[in-house]
Amino acid sequence: AQKVTQAQTEISVVEKEDVTLDCVYETRDTTYYLFWYKQPPSGELVFLIRRNSFDEQNEISGRYSWNFQKSTSSFNFTITASQVVDSAVYFCALSLYNNNDMRFGAGTRLTVKP
Amino acid sequence: GAVVSQHPSWVICKSGTSVKIECRSLDFQATTMFWYRQFPKQSLMLMATSNEGSKATYEQGVEKDKFLINHASLTLSTLTVTSAHPEDSSFYICSAAWWGNTEQETQYFGPGTRLLVL
C-alpha cells in the first residue's frame, strides 16, 4: 500500500525566510505520481506540481522548487523568500498510474509571519 | 481550464435529514470523480471513486448506504449524505480526472463543501 509521510506538522517562519517542506513516500509500484497541493484557509486545494516516477529532474517555478530523489523516496518542496500569502496547509500526495488510489500526507501547516 | 465546482459551499442541516452535494467539472468531461472527507486539521481521506455510468467504489469503512454517490454524466457527480448525524459534520471535497491526454494523471479539486449537522 502507498503511504506518504509529512513529518513536519507545523512550521513558522518570518517573511523572506526560505523554508523546506519534507515529504517521504512509500510504494512498491515503479510507476507513480507525486503531487503537492496548497490548501489556504478557504479550504480549496490548489494544485502546485505533479511529477512522475521516471522524471527525477528538479523543478523550479518562481519562488517554488521541488527536489525529487528516488534514492531516498523523498519529494521535498522549498519556498524561497517566503511571503505571508504562502501561509497555508501544504499536502504531498502520491497516486498510482491508474489514478484510482491517491494518498495524501497529513499535511504541513506553514505560517509566514510579517 | 480544469475547473471543478461544488454546490453548496456551506450547508447546515438537522440530524436525520439528507443532504446532497453536487460536483461539476465545468470545462472538461470527467471520466472519474473522487469524493474525499476532511476533518478539522486532518488530511484528506478518500471515500469513494466513481466512474461515469457505473457504481462507485467505496473505501474500506465507508458506508455505501449512508453516502450515496451518483455519477450520471461526464460532468456531474453527486454525494448524498443520508440521515445525517453530527459525526458526519466535515469538509467534503470532490475531484475530477479524465483520460486521454497528458494531464490524465492529475486530479483537479473542487472548492469543498462544509457540512454541519446539528
- DSSP assignment of A45-93: -EEEEEEETT----EEETTEEEEEEGGGTEEEEEESS--GGG-EEEEEE
Looking at residues A17-24, what average pLDDT do you find? 98
Per-residue pLDDT at B104: 52
- pLDDT digits 0-9 by tens, B59-113: 999 999 999 999 888 899 999 999 999 999 999 999 998 765 555 567 889 999 9
Give the Cα separation of B108 and A45 in Å (integer).
8
Per-residue pLDDT at A101: 72
DSSP secondary structure code for residue A34 in this structure:
E
Determine whether the interchain pair A43/B91 forms a contact, defined as Cβ–Cβ distance below 8 Å.
yes
Which member of B44, B104, B111 has the closest CB to residue A104?
Answer: B44
Contact B76/B23 with Cβ under 8 angstroms?
Answer: yes
* DSSP secondary structure string for all residues of B41-106: TS-EEEEEEEETTSPPEEPTT--TTTEEEEEEETTEEEEEE-S--GGG-EEEEEEEE-SSSTTTT-
Phi, psi of A113 (to 5 degrees): -95, 145
- pLDDT digits 0-9 by tens, B44-53: 999 999 888 8
**A99 has a pLDDT exceeding 60:** no
What is the band of A63 on the pLDDT scale with cuts at 50, 70, 90?
Answer: very high
Size of interface A-B (CB pairs under 8 A): 52
Q: Residue B36 is which amino acid?
A: Y
Contact A44/B6 with Cβ under 8 angstroms?
Answer: no
B111: closest CA of chain A, how far (Å): 4
Q: Name the least confident of A19-28, B21-30, B104-113.
A: B104-113
Task: Tell me which of A83 and A50 has the higher pLDDT.
Answer: A83
Mean pLDDT, rounded, of chain A: 92
Give the Cα separation of B23 and B78 in Å (integer).
6
Rounded to whole angstroms, what are the CA distances from B40 to A1, B89, B92, B95?
25, 10, 11, 19
Per-residue pLDDT at A100: 63
